[in-house]
Amino acid sequence: MRRASVALACLVALGATGLQAAEELPMRRIANMFEPLSTPAHIIMESAYVVLIITFVIFVVVAGLLAYACIKFRAKPGDDGKEPPQIYGSSQIEMAWTVIPILITVVLIIVTARTIGQIQNAPMPENAVEVRVVGHQWWWEIHYPGYGVVTANEIHIPVSRKDAPRPTFLLLQSADVIHSFWVPQLAGKTDLVPNRDNRMWLDPHETGVYFGNCAEYCGTQHANMLLRVIVEEEADFEAWIKQQNTPAVVDASVDQGRHDFSTTSCVNCHNIKGLEVPAIGSGTGVFGPDLTHLMSRQTIGAGVADMNPENLRDWIKDPQNLKPGCLMPDMRLGKPELDSIVEYLSTLK
Ligand code: CUA
């Protein structure tokens, strides 16, 4: 009964914080750069068309000349078997095939440089949302420096409409190897390189859950380094930030689980804001995702499974089942600890 009322209170709270809306947003799984819904993605599509048109014209000219030569000078009955007259040292022809490709290359360089400048060196407007994304093998650490929020794998940002622009500026970093941030409908790929800060921005014109993934091979679970960008109305985004800023739920019915979590190796890698850890005081684990509001995320293991207590149990029992090769080991928890820890984590809305 107590649990039912806690669950009900949580549901009410979720509705009040706008998280309910996040579940009703349209799922945008399109991995197609020709259906952009954000200015940087538009700019990249336009540049892609310029490049495609230029290269298509080159293809038609080269293939046309080749076809013409093959047909016109093919072997015919009655040929004398000798080679046709050869032309050497025509400075007009040599100038033409040197200068024209140089001009074409210069045009392509200018188009590319302008696009990179617009996306990676753009000045950040006052009202922009700043997000720091750190790539890890094989998940995304996400910080909102302006709000003090830390989360993982799912980036909530506000919609940015023409009459009320609110872009999001990303700082991209890596904790280990090179990864690449790619949400096709929002922007092109930008690498996350160790010891380097890369920047880009997004301004989604429509709300929805945009699907993305790591686009640079980074090891065994590269294909399961998935990413979601949850684009909400301004008010829902602010409500989400407010909710993420609250310390973790302390539910007396899961005291055992909280104790088990804070006294096993879980706390070496995962932080839960507000959790008391014996001997250390508070959590400091940063090697794995922050779990303060774990259950407010849609997926587990960077998109490998839906977030629910059953999958969470499977994950903790042995992460290597759901995501072979991932860096979270099988902790060999006994059944009582496994049950209590899953119960505890399931309260972290
Ligand atoms: Cu990270 Cu591929």
CB-side exposure of 288: number of CA atoms within 13 Å?
A: 21
Predicted local confidence at residue 9, as pLDDT: 45
Residue stretches of the chain with pLDDT short of 70: 1-22
Predicted local confidence at residue 2, as pLDDT: 47
Pocket of ligand 1 (CB under 6 A): 135, 138, 179, 214, 216-218, 222, 225
Antiparallel, parallel or unpaired: β 208-214 and 179-182: antiparallel
Determine the distance separating the centroid of ligand 1 and the alpha carbon of 125, expressed in angstroms.
30
CB-based contacts of 179, cutoff 8 Å, min separation 6: 135, 191, 192, 214, 216, 218, 225
Predicted local confidence at residue 167, as pLDDT: 96
Which residue's alpha carbon is nearest to atom 1 within ligand 1? 179
- How many helices and strands (H and E) does the chain possess? 10, 15
Determine the distance separating the centroid of ligand 1 and the alpha carbon of 269, expressed in angstroms.
20
Determine the distance separating the centroid of ligand 1 and the alpha carbon of 245, expressed in angstroms.
28
Predicted local confidence at residue 22, as pLDDT: 66
pTM above 0.75, yes or no: yes
Cβ–Cβ under 8 Å, residues 272 and 295: no
pLDDT tens profile 257-295: 999 999 888 998 999 988 888 877 777 788 999 999 999
Predicted local confidence at residue 282, as pLDDT: 75
Q: Which helix (H) or strand (E) holds 311?
A: helix 309-317
Determine the distance separating the centroid of ligand 1 and the alpha carbon of 302, expressed in angstroms.
11
- CA-138 nearest atom, ligand 1: 1
Predicted local confidence at residue 75, as pLDDT: 84
Determine the distance separating the centroid of ligand 1 and the alpha carbon of 176, expressed in angstroms.
10
**112, 118, 120, 122: CA torsion to nearest 10:** 160
Which among 131, 137, 130, 132 has a CA at the least distance from the CA of 302? 137
- CA-217 nearest atom, ligand 1: 2
